[in-house]
Chains A and B, each alone.
Chain A
Amino acid sequence: FRLMSKLNVKKGAYLTSLLHALKYPSASVNGVLLGHRNKGETIKVEKAVPLLHSHIALAPMMDAAFSLVEEYCKKESLKVVGYYHANATHDQNKFSGAISPSMAVAKRIADRIYETEKETDKAAECCVMIVDNKELEQLATQLEISTKSGAATDMGKYSGVTLHVKNSGGTWQQLDPASNQGLVEGVDDGSAQAELLSLIAMGAYQSLTDFDNHIDDPTRGWLTTSVVA
């Protein structure tokens, strides 16, 4: 008997968010998560859409991006189901309790997304995926070990991200992957992490296009295309 998990993240969405963070190691990056949500059921994250890597705290480009994301969702019958964020600095990874200024920005955006969705759908549920830089460091160490010695590792333990949903009290609560509450496809057996490694080796993160990139050069595909399958 297994408890139904609250959240399920497709491998592609997970990989996209990490590649985005890796493309801009010295900046905070963020994006929106699209998928399906039905009241009482698992939130399914199908796709991660990279948004900004500069001036994340400012509203206009976020508003513009969201206007286009809304049109896209209408076309593809998807819903906005969450937000992802990676901080520029190493230490600030907590999303609840006493949070740092940069995480406060993330929380404000996540809350705003949640409230906007609630306006049109009272039963809306949203999640947040935080790229945890310390976890990522652990993952990097594991990947290094596995590349050098090929030995079975604890890789399945480290995804490099933490997942959060709003609890009944209205605060963001971290999900525990160990009890199947929040799952990222392909992480437990290490296959997602292995794919991440090969994407990095190919330099795939350089060809990832976020909204900022697309505005600077509209010939670059964004939203309707993806660098990750």
Chain B
Amino acid sequence: ESMAAELEGLEAVLARSKNDAPTMQSILNHIRVNRIRRPDLVLKCAVPLLSRGWLGNAQWDIREQLLLAALDLHKFDLAEEQFNMLFIRFPNSMRVRNLEGMKLEAQATSTGIPPEQRGQYLQDAMGIYDDIVAEDPCSVTARKRKVAALRMRGSEEALKEAVINMNEYLNIYPTDSDAWKELAELYLEQQQLENARKALEEVVMLQPVSYLVHLKLAEVLYSLDEYAVARKYYAQSLELNPRKNPRAALGMVLCTTAIEKGKKTKGDATNTQLFDLSRQMVLDRYAALKPTDAGSGVGGLVRAWLGA
């Protein structure tokens, strides 16, 4: 939330300052560091910055960023231009080769190209990643790009292959929690909740004080109808972040309600306590809204639902 607000602030500053170079550079940094996907903003800042020509070595990061933004917006000429400059400057760079793969992946999705051409672009992209991995079996970027490219294809076979590749990567880098999270995502896309659960359990071990990770695992367990275990993780998530954790509060309400409904599990005092606690959290959140807030209408529905 605060990130979006900060970005909005910078956008406003940019609008006011009209091509002020330091502002544009700080916006680009902010986007890069926080991995925000706003290719439109990147273009607005990077193109005028680069045309000024006095950036020196700082230009290369910006060119890379612009290349990726151009690919996102399907501005392939602009992308090609940036890629060529990067390739001339860094002809033996693995990083640039990875970018070439991404460029091919993006071109594969351009409007109106025939399916055979599409297939060819994707094959070439995968070929580049395979080459990089063959040269450097520990390559992080190329391995991850392979998984991303397969995930984008979205077919049953592609997703299965993505899982295999992700597991191969995790054999080399078992403490990369982002990769375990991605593996969980791949399993969820195939509705393999049990496997997703196992992957998320690894993440919890690697990030034991992350409220988001506990929440995520709780949601998967809830989806598996494992309400008792889900409740533990919801509780842990709320303990780690009691103040701004609406999904955990909502989830706890639902979870304890489901437990109460269960024939074998009803009548548990802890359950009632947790229900009351989380229910109050949800109600408080809506009570804090002003009548002029557009979302206050939902407050009425929440109170009706929770019998307040």
B9 to chain A, nearest CB (A): 16
B267 interface residue per 8 A CB criterion: no
Inter-chain contact A108/B286, CB cutoff 8 Å: no
User: What B residues does A104 contact at CB under 8 A?
Assistant: 191
A101 interface residue per 8 A CB criterion: yes
A30 to chain B, nearest CB (A): 14
User: What A residues does B299 contact at CB under 8 A?
Assistant: 218
User: What A residues does B156 contact at CB under 8 A?
Assistant: 100-101
Chain A contact residue count (CB 8 A cutoff): 44
A107 to chain B, nearest CB (A): 10
User: What B residues does A108 contact at CB under 8 A?
Assistant: 191
Inter-chain contact A222/B295, CB cutoff 8 Å: yes
Partner-contacting stretch, out of B127-135, B147-155, B170-178: B147-155
| A101/B159 contact (C-beta < 8 A), A89-B153, A221-B295, A223-B298 known | yes
Partner-contacting stretch, out of A33-41, A59-67, A154-162, A165-173: A59-67
A101 to chain B, nearest CB (A): 5
| A68/B1 contact (C-beta < 8 A), A60-B219, A60-B223, A60-B250 known | no
Mask, A197-226, CB within 8 Å of B = 1, is 000000000000100001111111111110
A170 to chain B, nearest CB (A): 21
The complex places the Cα of A107 from the Cα of B268 at a distance, in Å, of 36
The complex places the Cα of A186 from the Cα of B195 at a distance, in Å, of 45
A119 interface residue per 8 A CB criterion: no
| Chain B binding surface SS class | helix
Inter-chain contact B189/A57, CB cutoff 8 Å: yes
Mask, B177-196, CB within 8 Å of A = 1, is 00000000000111101000
The complex places the Cα of A207 from the Cα of B301 at a distance, in Å, of 22
User: What A residues does B294 contact at CB under 8 A?
Assistant: 209, 219-221, 225
Q: Which of B219-258 contact A (CB under 8 A)?
A: 219-220, 222-223, 246-247, 250-251, 253-255
A118 interface residue per 8 A CB criterion: no
User: What A residues does B109 contact at CB under 8 A?
Assistant: 90
| A141/B297 contact (C-beta < 8 A), A58-B223, A88-B154 known | no
Mask, A42-86, CB within 8 Å of B = 1, is 000000000000010111110110011011101100000000000
B305 interface residue per 8 A CB criterion: yes
B302 interface residue per 8 A CB criterion: yes
Inter-chain contact A225/B153, CB cutoff 8 Å: no
Inter-chain contact B152/A64, CB cutoff 8 Å: no
The complex places the Cα of A71 from the Cα of B300 at a distance, in Å, of 9
Query: Whose C-beta in chain A lies nearest to the C-beta of B302?
Result: A68
Inter-chain contact B301/A215, CB cutoff 8 Å: no
B56 interface residue per 8 A CB criterion: no
B12 interface residue per 8 A CB criterion: no
The complex places the Cα of A154 from the Cα of B222 at a distance, in Å, of 47
A180 interface residue per 8 A CB criterion: no
The complex places the Cα of A219 from the Cα of B37 at a distance, in Å, of 24
User: What A residues does B250 contact at CB under 8 A?
Assistant: 60-61, 64, 215
User: What B residues does A88 contact at CB under 8 A?
Assistant: 154
Contact of A218 among B152, B190, B247, B285 (CB under 8 A): B285
